Amino acid sequence: MGLVVDRRGKIVEAESLQDRILKGLYGHVLGRALLKPLVSPAVSRLVGGFLDSGFSKALIPWFMRSHSIDMADYEQKEYESYNDFFTRRMAKGARSIDSSPQALVSPCDSRVSVYPVDGECEFTIKHTRYTAQSLLRDYRLAAEYAGGYVWVFRLCVEDYHRYIYTDGGRVTGSVRIPGVLHTVNPVANDRYPVYKENTREYCVIRSEHFGKMIQMEVGAMLVGKIHNHFRGERVRRGWEKGRFAFGGSTVILLTKKGAALPDEDILENSRRGWETRVRLGERVGGRPAG
């Protein structure tokens, strides 16, 4: 897999034990055979049922130790289940939202990569070719994003699993596309076009500062639940849009040609195949000059 770097270019993540296990599963015929039941929504629902139960509370101390979770950033309460803990809220003031009209902000704590959409509405993620139409299942809507960018915000299990609206505006439509639940670790994308196979939901936002944009949530292995809130037609930047239940998952933005330009470090890291570590509410791009 590629490296993950911070905004100063320092390497903050390399290959982990989880990466090596997933590479073994996705990289060999036997491993891919074992994956078949794991990526099914039925297995996700079964595991999710356990993680919603009080019996799963025993996993919380182990998870906190193994992922070095600092609870100073989070709401202090008695958690009723593992998923209750996994979807914990940030403490007030733990994250700040860049309010500059020129700033496009990250919807979540994640590792971001950006990819240009060509004139045929195609783009490449980690050597896998996609079309905007296959992602959205809407040819006319997809055609509007030719020449724009796809922004992929990949969450890992230790990340904060709530996400926000990246800009204010008017929500004009919402779509759910059922599918399977591959991991969103980059190793899976080398074998499967996960972003057009996995369960996903998206809404169309006529944003205040970046035109008509798409904000999509993608479920992943053992994440059968994408919980989006109903906020009404008008939304504000920084409002909580929803949360993911257990597992890694992804938020994707699509912006139109000339509407938003990624910050140079994120753009250059993406060209190199590196992901950039970002936090919820942090600037990741902005309106082009002129």
Counted residue by residue, the chain has a size of 290
Beta bridge partners of 261: 286
Catalytic residue, candidates 44, 56, 106, 109 = 109
Per-residue DSSP letters for 157-199? TTS--EEE-SS-EEEEEEEEE--B----SHHHHTTS-HHHHB-
Catalytic residue, candidates 81, 106, 249, 270 = 249
Q: CB–CB of 203/252 below 8 Å? A: no
Residue identified by tokens 């505006």 is 169
Handedness of CA 8, 12, 15, 21 (dihedral sign): negative
Pick left, alpha or beta for residue 4 (phi over 0 → left; psi -120 to 50 → alpha; otherwise beta): beta
- Please choose, from the candidates 102, 51, 57, the residue with its C-alpha nearest in 3D space to the C-alpha of residue 80: 57
Q: CB–CB of 272/207 below 8 Å? A: no
Distance CA 171, CA 153 (A): 21
Active site residue 109: yes
Distance CA 59, CA 149 (A): 39
Catalytically active residues, by annotation:
109, 249
